[in-house]
Structure 1
């Protein structure tokens, strides 16, 4: 049977960006009727989405972990564990939904193609990306590329942080709870090792409108978690698509 909107829950992890989360929730409700939304907010009470925008928060299931700053890994796992539908759609709190998401088209692709995680584009970003070991497996190279293609859908190793998947697939894979940030590539690298079918629908888009704040910025810029992820998989460095190299 075809996936219905009621079969999908939208999962958002947020911290210290209440206006950004409010903007996302309102855009979801505007473009997707009766959307099921779970928001996990692990921020300080004075910076929480629920306190700042109670009317928007009332449209969601808002979860506050017992501890502040549990991190992206823990927060997303809490959200996925709370999902009561067969499918989930992951979003970052600085995404904005527009008609260009083409959600019906995305659902149809997921129904009819061999795919476990189906991501969407983020404007000019979110292109199909590969994760290739270099230097006898000591460096991981993040680069543009694809394994195969069917029309607008390209199979690859990594999509954006806006994707559709079966809930049980993500509950099994999960995010590394030690990684409070810099979790993205590590999640998809393990998806690759697990032989999951990852793809990007090149004609479906989410708007990525980055929002920062004095309370948020220090939490995002903790490079020690990037180093932890690299060392976990035996890498001493990473090469980004633009050629920049960072070391563990």
Structure 2
């Protein structure tokens, strides 16, 4: 199996951070030749990426859902359904692509190793992570760890939100559309239940350059969606990598 860059589409979900999305798209175009890019923007019309940066947006397929704030789950699923290439690469709108992505290296390993979802690091973050039930299945523990390793490639349960995968793999798995936020661990927990092979390339990176926005922060802090995801899988609480515990 060989993968050409033309076989891959970069998928970005954004809301109320037009400058951040602009920065990501420009970084993709700087370091990758004629990338295929889909942006789903479910923000208020006056806060959208396309009118704020029309020249940058012209380099993408920009989709505006009929409703505002459809959430991460719906938005990402819309993006993946619009992909026409065999492979997709997910990115968050506050990522920045640099030469440290080492995309050629990532693609080469994907073709040779037994991997379904292949994540990259986010600076100091995005290390291989495990999702382990505790307390007779009442608590899910999110912790650093790996199943096995081959050089810089570590198989695990959860990677960052910057990953390469076959489009059909992600279309089959999908994000839970009820979860407007706190969707990340739940997506990878279902990948684990589906026995998908998740790995992280420890020497491939995107830059995670968070952009602060007051209204975006309000959207991200809706903890009811974390509770919803935990209850969906029968968990009463989650233990975080730093040792803190959040409850459903």
Q: TM-score, normalised by structure 2?
A: 1.00
Structure 1 unaligned regions, length at least 5: none
What is the alpha-carbon distance in structure 2 between the residues aligned to residue 212 and residue 67 of structure 1? 23
1:180: which partner in 2? Answer: 180
SS in 1 for 2:214: coil
Deviation at residue 142 of structure 1 after TM alignment = 0.1
1:116-127 superposed matches below 5 A: 116-127=116-127
What is the alpha-carbon distance in structure 2 between the residues aligned to residue 214 and residue 187 of structure 1? 26
SS in 1 for 2:33: coil
1:114: which partner in 2? Answer: 114
Deviation at residue 214 of structure 1 after TM alignment = 1.8
2:81: which partner in 1? Answer: 81
What is the alpha-carbon distance in structure 1 between the residues aligned to residue 222 and residue 33 of structure 2? 37
1:72-221 superposed matches below 5 A: 72-221=72-221
What is the alpha-carbon distance in structure 2 between the residues aligned to residue 119 and residue 195 of structure 1? 16
What is the alpha-carbon distance in structure 1 between the residues aligned to residue 6 and residue 68 of structure 2? 31
**1:137-179 Cα distance to aligned partner (Å, 9 max, x none):** 0000000000000010000000000000000000000000000
Structure 2 unaligned regions, length at least 5: none
Deviation at residue 216 of structure 1 after TM alignment = 1.0
What is the alpha-carbon distance in structure 1 between the residues aligned to residue 159 and residue 58 of structure 2? 30
What is the alpha-carbon distance in structure 2 between the residues aligned to residue 169 and residue 2 of structure 1? 17
Give the aligned length. 248
The CA RMSD measured in Å over matched residues stands at 0.4
**Displacement over 4 Å in runs of 4+:** none
What is the alpha-carbon distance in structure 2 between the residues aligned to residue 204 and residue 217 of structure 1? 28
- Structure 1 residue 44 corresponds to structure 2 residue 71: no
1:242: which partner in 2? Answer: 242
What is the alpha-carbon distance in structure 1 between the residues aligned to residue 217 and residue 226 of structure 2? 16
What is the alpha-carbon distance in structure 2 between the residues aligned to residue 126 and residue 163 of structure 1? 10
- Structure 1 residue 229 corresponds to structure 2 residue 191: no
1:25: which partner in 2? Answer: 25
Deviation at residue 215 of structure 1 after TM alignment = 2.2
SS in 2 for 1:215: helix
Deviation at residue 212 of structure 1 after TM alignment = 1.7
- Structure 1 residue 68 corresponds to structure 2 residue 68: yes
What is the alpha-carbon distance in structure 2 between the residues aligned to residue 208 and residue 24 of structure 1? 10
Q: TM-score, normalised by structure 1?
A: 1.00
**1:174-226 Cα distance to aligned partner (Å, 9 max, x none):** 00000000000000000000000000000000000001212211111100000
What is the alpha-carbon distance in structure 2 between the residues aligned to residue 41 and residue 108 of structure 1? 31
